Amino acid sequence: MSGIFESFNLYSHAEKFYLEPTELGGGASSTTYLEIDRHTSSMRVNDSRAQRIPIIDSDIKFIYGVLGTIKLVAGNALIVITKAKIVGQIGNHNIWTILDTEIIPFKKTTLHLTERQARYNRRFIEMLGSVLNFGGFFYSTTFDISRTQQFLQQNQGSAAFQTSSMMDRASDRFIWNGYLLTQIRSVSGAEKFTLPIIHGFFGQTKLQINGSSIKLTIISRRSIYRAGVRFYKRGVDNDGHAANFVETEQILEFDAEEKHTTSFVQLRGSIPLLWSQKPNLRWQPTPQMRPTDDQLAAFNRSFAWHQKHYGGKHVIVNLVNQKGREKKIGGELERIAQQANIDFVRYHQFDFHKECHAMQWNRLSILKDQLADEIQAFGFFYSCPSQVQPTRYQQGFFRTNCMDCLDRTNVVQSMLARESLTDQLRMFGILGQHQSVENVDQLEIVFKHLWADNGDECSRQYAGTGALKSDFTRLGKRTYLGAMNDGVNAVSRYMRNNFGDGYRQDSIDLFLGNFVINTSDLPPTLETSIFSTDQNGLALVAALFAMSMTILCMLVADNFTATIFWLIIFFVCVSFIFLNGEEFVNTPKLKID
């Protein structure tokens, strides 16, 4: 399989774009280039020996790659990577993260647009930019980072797989620019111009343990299916894809006389049922399930999907509370799991908050003991180039969830990963049979920080803040400073979830192609505001006015009666707003789920 061109000179001519492949150090790396007509949007691959790029009157820009093209109101636009850096290696393959991008319209002017169209065009460009600014986008020009080590090993003997382009062989579940690359992929000979990008986390460290050099990597791949923000994406869709689904692979590379590689894969995803939890200004909206939904069918579809892509056995580690607002969803999951009675799926309940209340986080050892047999039975992937030892495959997978698959989930996933890493290091003889990761201070510190960074990044992408409880993952204990930081993050999440996540969801749907712009049917809801002339808008204005008058009466007029009057008006307005909370939050406007 050929790799992807690692960089380009982008020639922007009045009539066309020309993408010339280059070496990072400079100089052309191919005799072909991609030509894009800025008027007709047609594309073709040319041979520079037969037809040279017209350099005169062209602006030249060095770029690292092309994310793709997208249709905006003004016409198509090219999205390119202008800054990137290497963050690590898997094997000898460089892994890059995207630092900056640019959206370049095909048309050089928007004079052909009406004022409304120009407004929408700017808004859509801002939305795309907001997604690109999320961070957490990674790629490799020579290695498929959308697939697990185990999958690549199992398919390396397939001629069709090995001769496919990197984009064709990548997992469409985790390629975030798949929609953007649709047009370029249709061009004959453009395979090496199509760079697959994943979204999630990549962290890596090298260290010496008992005289042995090891490299530890964590890579989290966020699914494009049912992708979105915290409250607007819950449960599963009709195809069994779970919201907030993330595949996390912990990779260990050990260099002795030759390179040995192990990996351990875990899954996280929203509770695999049909449910919702829409923001409504309350601190925690009540989860909802419709009695007419076929929960058994949704559950079965979800795990049929798991079996197809992973095989082996699966253990659902459910961390939701067994009382309060979480009980309804958690209890239904347990009931449906028992009713489904799938032979390769086992349901395991662990009430995280009940067991670890009052900062008794040492009680996580209870869960570790409960899962110990399956941790051993599931094992991990192992390969060695010379096959001194036979290849081993991971036989089962833990699918962990809480309500958001963020905070509690990351804590438990790190615990399971630590147990697997201990087994891997013992197999190599790097740790003695009575040693564990916790016993080696340097390794334990590095391990904790990698997993805490992973939790923070996944949380930022989904909920807008770093993970809660990350002090335990990072330090191995719960601290009062960590609890205070959790409080700040919780308030920040509340504000984002209620007043910013509708826009973020719209931006993701636009980026992934879940919403396609139709210039003749622009969504009028995109310009609606909560400060409107209906009863909701009037209630909001009245609440702000009453609050202002209350403060003025207290500070300036010193009129007790007037202060009480305006305070009552303020509370009446606020009560109305909270009773109709769903009408006042920032909801998605492009694609209704």
Residue 229 within any structural domain of the chain: yes
Nearest CA among 542, 497, 506 for reference residue 525: 506
Q: How far apart are the C-alpha atoms of 422 and 414, rounded to whole Å?
A: 12
Q: What is the pLDDT of residue 472?
A: 67
Q: How far apart are the C-alpha atoms of 238 and 246, rounded to whole Å?
A: 18
Q: How far apart are the C-alpha atoms of 366 and 49, rounded to whole Å?
A: 68
Same-domain pairing of 133 and 222: no
Q: Which two tokens stand for residue 191?
A: 């395979």
Q: What is the pLDDT of residue 568?
A: 85
Same-domain pairing of 216 and 177: no
Same-domain pairing of 117 and 214: no
Quick check: helix, strand or coil at residue 30?
coil
Quick check: helix, strand or coil at residue 146?
coil
Q: Which of 193, 225, 257 is the last residue of a domain?
A: 193
Q: What is the pLDDT of residue 530?
A: 54
Residues 546 and 570 sit within 8 Å (Cβ to Cβ): yes
Q: What is the pLDDT of residue 554?
A: 77
- Mean pLDDT of successive 10-residue stretches along the chain, which has 593 residues: 86 95 86 95 94 88 97 97 97 96 94 93 96 96 96 86 88 97 96 97 94 95 94 91 96 86 97 92 87 95 95 96 90 96 97 83 90 97 77 95 90 96 95 92 94 92 78 69 76 79 94 94 79 66 80 75 83 79 81 73
Those residues whose C-beta lies under 8 Å from the C-beta of residue 362, and which sit 6 or more positions away, are: none
Same-domain pairing of 178 and 250: no
Q: What is the pLDDT of residue 557?
A: 65
Q: What is the pLDDT of residue 115?
A: 93
Residue with tokens 């961070």: 135
Q: What is the pLDDT of residue 534?
A: 63
Residue 370 within any structural domain of the chain: yes
Residue 216 within any structural domain of the chain: yes
Structural domain total, the chain: 3
Q: Which of 510, 545, 570 is the last residue of a domain?
A: 510
Q: How far apart are the C-alpha atoms of 138 and 552, rounded to whole Å?
A: 53
Q: Which helix (H) or strand (E) holds 46?
A: strand 43-47
Query: Which alpha helices (DSSP H) does 158-282 contain, by range?
Result: 159-163, 166-169, 182-185
Q: Which two tokens stand for residue 164?
A: 């496919």
Q: Which helix (H) or strand (E) holds 535?
A: helix 535-552
Residue 461 within any structural domain of the chain: yes
Q: What is the pLDDT of residue 299?
A: 97
Tell me the residue type at 268: R
Those residues whose C-beta lies under 8 Å from the C-beta of residue 38, and which sit 6 or more positions away, are: 13, 14, 15, 16, 17, 106, 107, 108
Residues 204 and 216 sit within 8 Å (Cβ to Cβ): yes
Same-domain pairing of 342 and 441: yes
Residues 61 and 12 sit within 8 Å (Cβ to Cβ): yes
Q: Which of 510, 541, 567 is the last residue of a domain?
A: 510
- A 10 A CB-CB count for 224 gives 24
Q: Which two tokens stand for residue 583?
A: 């009408």
Q: What is the pLDDT of residue 114?
A: 93
Residue 453 within any structural domain of the chain: yes
Q: What are phi and psi of 405, to 5 degrees?
A: 60, 40
204-216 per-position pLDDT tens digit:
999 999 889 999 9
Residue with tokens 């030509």: 35
Q: How far apart are the C-alpha atoms of 174 and 184, rounded to whole Å?
A: 19
Same-domain pairing of 378 and 239: yes
Residues 270 and 233 sit within 8 Å (Cβ to Cβ): yes
- A 10 A CB-CB count for 26 gives 10
Residue 523 within any structural domain of the chain: no
Q: Which two tokens stand for residue 470?
A: 């990350």
**End-to-end Cα, the chain, rounded Å:** 39
Q: How far apart are the C-alpha atoms of 560 and 7, rounded to whole Å?
A: 70
How large is the C-alpha radius of gyration of the chain?
27
Same-domain pairing of 44 and 119: yes
Same-domain pairing of 120 and 172: yes
Tell me the residue type at 457: E
Residue 296 within any structural domain of the chain: yes
Nearest CA among 403, 415, 383 for reference residue 263: 383
Q: What are phi and psi of 337, to 5 degrees?
A: -60, -40
Same-domain pairing of 188 and 269: no
Nearest CA among 323, 232, 233 for reference residue 269: 233
Tell me the residue type at 26: G
Residues 249 and 219 sit within 8 Å (Cβ to Cβ): yes
Residue 350 within any structural domain of the chain: yes
**Using DSSP, how many helices (H) and how many strands (E) does the chain show?**
16, 17
Quick check: helix, strand or coil at residue 470?
helix
Q: What is the pLDDT of residue 555?
A: 75
Quick check: helix, strand or coil at residue 223?
coil
Length of the chain: 593
Same-domain pairing of 317 and 419: yes
Q: What are phi and psi of 448, to 5 degrees?
A: -60, -45
In terms of residue numbers, what domain contains 325? Answer: 200-510
Same-domain pairing of 171 and 211: no
Same-domain pairing of 376 and 478: yes
Q: Which helix (H) or strand (E) holds 311?
A: none
Beta-bridged to residue 81, according to DSSP, are 65, 101
Q: Which two tokens stand for residue 254?
A: 């050990």
Q: What are phi and psi of 132, to 5 degrees?
A: -65, -25
